[in-house]
Structure 1
Amino acid sequence: MRVILFVSMLVVPAAAVAAPKTMRVDFYHTGNATEERFSLDRVVTEPLAWPGNPARPIDETNRGKYFFEVADAATGRIVYSRGFSSIYGEWETNAEAKSIHRTFSESLRFPAPDKPVRIVVSKRDPKNAFRDIWTVTVDPSDKFIVPDAASPDAGPLLAIQRSGDPSEKLDLLILGDGYTPAERGKFERDARRLADVLFQTSPFKERRRDVNVWGLCPAALQSGVSRPSQHIYRRSPLGATFDAFDTERYVLTFENKAFREIAANAPYDVVEILVNSATYGGGGIYGLYSTVAADNAWAPYVFVHEFGHHIAGLADEYYTSDVAYLPAADRVEPWEPNATALLDPASLKWGDLVEPRMPLPTPWAKEEFERYTKEAQQKRRDIRAANRPEAEMDALFREEQRHDTALLNSGPYAGKVGAFEGANYEARGYYRPQADCIMFTRDAVPFCAVCRRAIDAILDLYSRLQ
């Protein structure tokens, strides 16, 4: 196992030192289920100063499927690091990866150096330890580095909430996709409405002053985004689409450089993409972005749930919905902070939050939940297969919410931290911290105690001086 060195840095006020520009390495990530390769596309600087916290350049949170370090090429001193996940990292767990190769565009962003640096990307091995898989050297004096790489068509920057200097706050950028020029006002209303929802949710409610919120909405020629399952195709500025990985509700953009060059017009650490659609859907990838269909009745829930994936690397705790991912071959301890294989109950990673004498695993109404949910999932498939109105899906979700809220929030262990079997898309062998949570159901419940703590750690990384 490689040893990651952490560097102590003198903490100085952000305003005392001019922030460097933002450097971005664009690369291609290619492979299949058994092999992967990286190739350099280009190196650019973005027009704005680096928005990150200068006092916390080193990531010690142990989040993400991948991890990258930026080291001084001459001395080896690590000057920046971050964990992240990627679309490729999800795709390689799908059945398609067993039969074909695919290539995805990806990017790494970091403070622009003033001397050559070596970038090392590592990936978790089958036991979830990081192993080096790609190294590239970047010389900031290279004449082929593209300066001020940003789209001129991003539209004016909207300051939704300005809490302080970007270097001292978590900067959330809300991007609109599929909004025509006539719908810019709608985007602003959507962005403010959903930002307010986020700040009504703990721990964001208590940490609101640690967050800046910005908005950009590049004009689309047509309203809406692509939905291939319904033969709807749009050339939207960000390229967001439903049906990612052939999962009808999963919304991603595969057009990484278009996304990056639009986003480069704002300071950002995290990104939420609002798609101009009323169809239920969204997505979230740690360190990349999250998405939500802004006009759906469940947009407030989806916004917060998917943002939990993106900002904190939270695992999906549900396991009864259809997903594209193949089941895990072995049970190893997940890196995600809110899921465990419970290989050693005495060393449970959230054990400090568990009351004495709490049974591990923790009993809950699992059989009743699975029986009801199996029937609901079939109804959901039938609604989509028949292309029924979205109102029917909304009604089904409300019915599920009433049932699940009553079932999961009663009993001796409701609201308590334990180890409840069923998480990480698996009915057996993975456990979640509480019976109910935003990461488990659409119930009107908060993040569980473990998820709240995991989010707080990331907010600290971007907004605390030490």
Structure 2
Amino acid sequence: MPYLNRLLAGAALSAVAGLALAAQPATVRLDYMHTGNALNESYAIEQVVIEPLPWPGDMSKTIDTTNRGVNKVEVADAKTGKLLYTRGFSTVFGEWKSTEEAGKLTRGFHESVRFPKPDRPVKVRILKRDERNEFSVVWSLEVDTDAMDVVRKQEPAPAKPIAIRVNGPSEKKVDLLILGDGYTRADMAKFEAAARRLSDYLFTVSPFKERAKDFNVWAMAVPTQESGVSRPSTNTYHSSKLGARYDIFGSERYVLTVDNRALREIAQHAPYEFIEILVNNETYGGGGIYGQFSTAAADNDWANYLFVHEFGHHFAGLADEYYTSPVAYATGGARMEPWEPNVTALQDPANVKWKKFVTPGTALPTAWPKAEYEAHSREYQKIRAQLRKDNRPESEMSKLFKEDLAWTNALFSKAPNRKAVGAFEGANYEATGYYRSQQQCLMFDRSEAFCAVCSDAVQETIDLYAPR
């Protein structure tokens, strides 16, 4: 059990020192550059790394059956072509490509894929969905993980992981790593408290609540010199270890990091399959990229919601179901059937993707008080924008959010299809042409529960990592 012995250097982790199962293969990380613009993209290898800890996943569940993500990685035997490992994912580049900036210049983004170390040379393929929504290969290279130029020696861990919740060996559990950014050495107790508070809340929300025993949760933060992360729209700049910041792609509430190298070099010192980054800020904000990471402002009044909502994007590939808030990237154009499980273009109502959940007798599309909701939302968004423009105290924004949710709850409580599963027009950032399965879901507004379709998608992901 050398990997756990190294990891459990602190007394807080000593209780789990006996949890390892049979020896796991090493973890391989392929780092590469993904460059391009709105019309073109290309890939170039940077390095192959053997991470310090063994593979955290179940070696009997190496093939992804969920069919989610814009991209997919395939690892195949170089000689026979036999698939050894697959996972779907999306990228920051994929979102940036739809922005106005991508039509003007070319940019590069650092990315990584991780997989269990094979005992033979392999072919690693990156696939992308085409216009038919099918995966096709966009980059392929042969990798020998025993080659001389593979990086095998790492710097010591810059911080000790904290065991927040441990239910068994990593190989049989979903490993969630909570990273902190913008926390000084004096803020470390605050970070740990936030990680415990928000992860505890996650497991009060179904279906995470019912599957809580299938998760391990770890936390780690490398101290920064100043508290908080950058928020350029208010001329606030801080150096931070993960490079997380607000105003990504010009959206004031969008928080991501584009420093993937820094993220992976810190995260590699703890077992993980999923990452949520807590930023030490009060301002409302967060983000989530499927199969990469999610973020949340830990000090905001709505941190509980942010943590779960953004994790829904990262963990299960859930789409945003709202459509009246401005977003950072371009929407519109042809209404293709989304790959995300919780929204649809409803091209074939008789075979809607969540057919098994549709309430018997419910019409598709399904009636809801859409016009009234949109009229209210237009006024609400004007007030929200003005509060940000005037840089008003965050308490005023929180009050507005609370009032908006109360108004929405009151409106929906009187709607005839309030509890029905159907196809409600307005989702995926579009007022028309895309549909969600229920009137309310925490992927639609700041309510506290997933709809049935989102809940099922979360369960399917848990089963991929911690099968029942």
Q: Same fold (TM over 0.5)?
A: yes
1:451 aligns with 2:437: no
1:32 and 2:41 matched = no
1:284 and 2:291 are equivalent in the alignment: no
Counterpart CA distance in 2 for 1:149 and 1:289 is 22
Match of 2:6 in 1: none
Checking the alignment, whether the CA contact within 8 Å between 2:249 and 2:329 is kept in structure 1 is: no
Return the offset for 1:16. 6.4
Change (3 A) 1:209 1:101: same
CA RMSD between the two structures: 1.2
Could you tell me how far apart the structure 1 residues matched to 2:213 and 2:60 are?
A: 18
Q: What is the match of residue 267 of structure 2? A: 263
What displacement does 1:246 show? 0.7
Letter in 2 for 1:224: G
Question: Which residue type is aligned with residue 48 of structure 2?
Answer: V
Structure 1 unaligned segments of length 5 or more: list them: 1-13
Could you say what secondary structure the match of 1:271 adopts?
strand
- Asked whether the 8 Å contact 1:409–1:415 carries over to 2, the reply is no
Task: Describe the superposition over 1:334-382 as per-residue Cα deviations: whole angstroms up to 9, x where unpaired.
Answer: 1000000000001101011112221000000000110001101011110
Report the count of equivalent residues: 450
**Helix, strand or coil: the match of 1:380?**
helix
Q: Distance in 1 between matches of 2:331 and 2:190?
A: 40
Any idea what SS the aligned residue of 1:397 has?
helix
2:414 & 2:30 partners in 1: Cα distance?
Answer: 50
Matched, 1:86 2:94: no
Deviates more, 1:309-318 or 1:347-356: 347-356
SS of the counterpart of 1:172?
Answer: strand
Within 5 Å, give how 1:67-466 maps onto structure 2: 67-149=72-154, 152-153=157-158, 155-443=159-447, 445-464=448-467
In the aligned structure 2, how far is the partner of 1:360 from the partner of 1:151?
57
- Equivalent pair of 2:320/2:429 in contact (CA under 8 Å): yes
Structure 1 CA distance for aligned equivalents of residues 392 and 40 of structure 2: 41
1:150–1:265 CA contact under 8 A, matched in 2: no
How far, CA to CA, are the matches of 2:299 and 2:260 in structure 1?
A: 24
- Which residue of structure 1 aligns with residue 71 of structure 2? 66
Secondary structure of the residue that 1:135 maps to in structure 2?
Answer: strand
Contact kept, 8 Å, 2:173 with 2:216, in 1: the verdict is yes
Partner of 2:23: 18
Q: 1:151 to 1:390 in 2, by over 3 A?
A: farther
1:137-183 superposed Cα distances (whole Å, 9 cap, x missing partner): 11012111111445632x11100000100010000000000100111
Q: CA deviation at 1:17?
A: 4.0
Q: Distance in 1 between matches of 2:301 and 2:122?
A: 47
Q: Which runs of 5+ in 2 are unaligned?
A: 1-18
Q: Secondary structure at the match of 2:74?
A: strand
Deviations 1:107-156 (A, max 9, x none): 00000112100001110112211111000111012111111445632x11
Partner of 2:57: 52
Q: Is 142-151 or 321-330 further displaced after alignment?
A: 142-151
Other structure's SS at 1:454 match:
helix
Which residue does 2:13 correspond to in 1?
Answer: none
Percent of paired sites with the same residue: 53
Indicate conservation of the 8 Å contact 2:248/2:328, yes or no. Answer: no
Kept in 2, the 8 Å contact 1:150–1:262? The answer is: no
- Contact 2:48/2:145 (CA < 8 Å) preserved in 1? no
Amino acid in structure 2 at the alignment position of 1:415: K
SS of corresponding position for 1:378 = helix
What CA distance in whole angstroms lies between the structure 1 residues aligned with 2:428 and 2:343? 7
d(CA) in 2 for partners of 1:280, 1:213: 24
Deviations 1:180-212 (A, max 9, x none): 011100001000000011000000000000000
For residues 300-349 of structure 1, what are the alpha-carbon distances to aligned partners after superposition, in whole Å with 9 as ceiling and x for unaligned? 00110000000000000000001022123211111000000000001101
Q: Is the 8 A contact 1:43 1:146 kept in 2?
A: yes
TM-score, with structure 2 as normaliser:
0.95
| Contact 1:120–1:132, Cα closer than 8 Å, also in 2 | yes
1:63-94 alpha-carbon deviations (Å, 9 max, x no partner): 00001100010111100000000000111111
Separation in 1 of the partners of 2:99 and 2:350? 33
